[in-house]
Amino acid sequence: MAQLGKRNLLPIVRAASPGLYLDGGAHGEILLPARYIPAGAVPGGKLEVFVYRDSEDRLVATTERPYAVVDEFACLKVVGVNPRIGVFLDWGLGKDLLLPAREQDGPLNPGDWVVVQVVLDDKTDRLIASARLNRRLDLTPPPYHEGESVHLLVASKSPLGYNLIINHAHRGLVYHTDLAAPLKVGAVVEGYVRNVRPDGKVDLALGRAGYRRVATVAEQVLEKLRAAGGRLPFHDGSLPEEIRDAFGVSKKAFKQAIGALYKDRLIRIEPDSIHLVAPDTQ
């Protein structure tokens, strides 16, 4: 059966002057208007289409691709305002997406950009947008593991850093101190899970290089520990210059590396030193 708000691979049932009629299962036949018909599409074949409701509440199909499908998040541009109803967003289709006034998180004007989730409204069975991110994000324990590659959307800026939406589901944070340059709200970036805290909050790192750098420094620390007989006189109180002389990295990078090694139970941290953990005690 065709799913509203998603891309569907549907059989072509018949051709008519308005366009092609597709088999929508329990929804019946769904029209693909003539202007969207790709070359070579004939009855008996199949087409991948996006299904939504038109202004007359009929299910229709399009071969256009929206910037986000139902349950996904995206940063969309405001192209129209109706004070009684809400604002209209450009989401890549001929028909704009409504962000109802009740789903807004603040005033919006034409030309503004807003991070929203595309949702199926229970009351109208229509696709709408919601900017109430706190109500829309998944609050269940995140299933991610340290080092996992994730899709990120920059949702907002905070005093600590930037709030990002992970894989269209959970909230995560990247700290200002971990960034070489400011991020743009609405940007889509690649990132990695740095840490999942006991309270379920997720710390993130941006870019493959950042996570690999931590892994490289960690390997260097292990090599030096083995060469030194399992103990190195470095700790939180060590001077940045001492760490740079010994490892060629900043104190911050060193602390990230030993933090990763400690979580993997490869080292033991003492007040005045770090120690290699024997394999049989890991």
Residues comprising the chain, all counted: 282
Domains of the chain: 7-62 (2.40.50.140), 73-135 (2.40.50.140), 149-207 (2.40.50.140), 209-281 (1.10.10.10)
DSSP 96: P
Q: What is the distance between the alpha carbons of residues 194 and 218, in angstroms, rounded to a whole number? A: 14
pLDDT tens figures, 189-221: 888 898 898 888 999 988 655 555 566 788 888
Q: How many CB atoms lie within 10 A of CB 1?
A: 10
Classified as helix, coil or strand, 88 is strand
Are 148 and 179 in contact by the 8 Å Cβ rule? The answer is no
| Mean pLDDT score of the chain | 90
* Bridge partners (DSSP) listed for residue 1: none
Q: What is the pLDDT of residue 15?
A: 96
d(C-alpha 276, C-alpha 266), whole Å: 6
- Cα gap 141→200, rounded to integer Å: 6
Would strands 202-206 and 267-270 be described as parallel, antiparallel, or unpaired? unpaired
Q: Is 166 helix (H, G, I), strand (E, B) or coil?
A: strand
Percent of the chain scored above 70 by pLDDT?
95
Run of H or E including 213: helix 207-227
Check residue 280 and give its pLDDT: 53
pLDDT in tens, 71-122: 999 999 999 999 999 999 999 998 999 999 999 999 999 999 999 999 999 8
Q: Torsion angle, CA of 63/67/71/77, rounded to 10 degrees? A: -130
DSSP string computed for 176-195:
GGG-SSPPPTT-EEEEEEEE
pLDDT in tens, 226-253: 999 999 999 778 898 888 888 887 787 7
How confident is the model at residue 262, as a pLDDT? 82
